[in-house]
Amino acid sequence: MVERTADGPTVVTGGAGAIGSILVARLLHAGRTVEVIDNFSTGQRSVLPTGAGAERLHVTACSLASQEIPATAFRGAREVWHLAANADVRRGPEHPRVDLTNGTVATFEVLEAARRADVPKFIFSSSSVVYGYASVFPTPESYGPLEPESLYGAAKLAAEGLVSAYAHTYGLKTYIFRFANIVDGRANHGVLFDFFEKLRADPTTLEVLGDGRQAKSYLRTEECIDGMMVGAERASASVNIYNLGSLDRISVKEMAEKVVAVHGGTARIRYTGGDRGWVGDVPQQLLAVDKIRQLGWAPKLSSAAAVDLTIREYAEARHLPARPPPRS
């Protein structure tokens, strides 16, 4: 049995990402020692905390799927937060191994590292895409059959299976959180980031994939972390599965109009057509969050409010003139 104390380290994979770095800051603020593991393919060292508590932060750069995870990072750990994944869902069809490697295989390697170190608790960031194109909205955790339409979704669902199997086989207490679309002005991927990048390249035209009627739930990163922390602290089953999302959704058309507005409102929006943005895209999504609300968490912002705040952050980072996005 590995010696473990209540103040043992917390391991965070993908800790230099948009979600992971905020989680790391929260953990440090709570007095935890944090072991971050990141390959820095999309994560950035610059977003990791450097102020008070940073002396309790240790960072390891390695590929999770390469069997190079140092055992020392998990020694005596009280829990693992496995957030690392492929950030670009649309790469799947062109690079079929990316999600398998960075999603399923990496999850197996992290679970193995946790098992060998006898870590008692494993928290996993999954996704709403495991449901595929659901026929029930809002979609509850009990919905099935699960038929993911993207390789990213398939990798997440396979990883969920591994997490569940390790819980039942090795006694690991596990938490699976299925995210809606998580937005944050520091993220370097996602639809809002793409819109800003497209307008930077061509201020006259914004190309929007699909017909703009795709509509999904959007949740701020800090609210997502709040929900994960509530679930990980209060749920007690062997395998705990929770949706995390807002109570409503917003269309791609509305988001495009908001981004164009903060750029002066003159750019023409051009839709590529079709009901999906790309192969594997799920055009309609809204998660039921009744289960996590029973534990005491609920989203504070609507999808539109979460999007508006994120747009303001992107605009400020790019030094655009202050222009409020149009109201939904």
Residue 71 lies in a domain: yes
* CATH number assigned to the domain comprising residue 277: 3.90.25.10
What are the tens digits of pLDDT across the range 151-174?
Answer: 999 999 999 999 999 999 999 999
Average pLDDT taken over every residue of the chain: 94
The count of C-alpha atoms lying within 13 angstroms of the C-alpha of 48, restricted to the half-sphere facing its C-beta, is 22
What are the tens digits of pLDDT across the range 183-220?
Answer: 999 998 899 999 999 999 999 999 999 999 999 999 99
* CATH number assigned to the domain comprising residue 51: 3.40.50.720
CA angle 197, 126, 256 (to 5 degrees): 25
21: confidence class by pLDDT, cuts 50, 70, 90? very high
What does the pLDDT read at residue 263? 97
Residue 322 lies in a domain: no
Does the pLDDT value for residue 78 go beyond 90?
Answer: yes
Same domain, 235 and 95: yes
Cis peptide before 138 (omega within 30 of 0): yes
Same domain, 20 and 98: yes
What does the pLDDT read at residue 5? 52
- Alpha helices by DSSP H, 204-302: 221-234, 252-262, 290-293
Same domain, 269 and 126: no
Same domain, 204 and 173: no
Domain housing 172? 10-182+218-244
Same domain, 163 and 263: no
Does the pLDDT value for residue 54 go beyond 70?
Answer: yes
Q: Taking each helix axis from N to C terminus, what angle separates 191-201 and 303-317, rounded to the nearest 10 degrees?
A: 40
Chain position carrying tokens 């029930």: 136
Can you tell me the mean pLDDT for 31-39?
96
82-96, 115-129, 232-246, 273-287: least confident range: 82-96
Same domain, 175 and 75: yes
Give the pTM. Answer: 0.95
328: confidence class by pLDDT, cuts 50, 70, 90? low
Same domain, 149 and 257: no
Same domain, 225 and 170: yes
Same domain, 259 and 116: no
Same domain, 32 and 89: yes
Does the pLDDT value for residue 148 go beyond 80?
Answer: yes
Cis peptide before 145 (omega within 30 of 0): yes
What does the pLDDT read at residue 322? 74
Residue 80 lies in a domain: yes
What does the pLDDT read at residue 6? 59
What total of structural domains would you count in the chain?
Answer: 2
What does the pLDDT read at residue 2? 46
Same domain, 178 and 192: no
Residue 292 lies in a domain: no
Same domain, 155 and 194: no
What are the tens digits of pLDDT across the range 92-144?
Answer: 788 889 999 999 999 999 999 999 999 999 999 999 999 999 999 999 999 99
- CA-wise closest residue to 20 among 303, 280, 244, 228: 228
Residue 290 lies in a domain: no
State which amino acid sits at residue 117: A
What does the pLDDT read at residue 1? 43
Residue 190 lies in a domain: yes
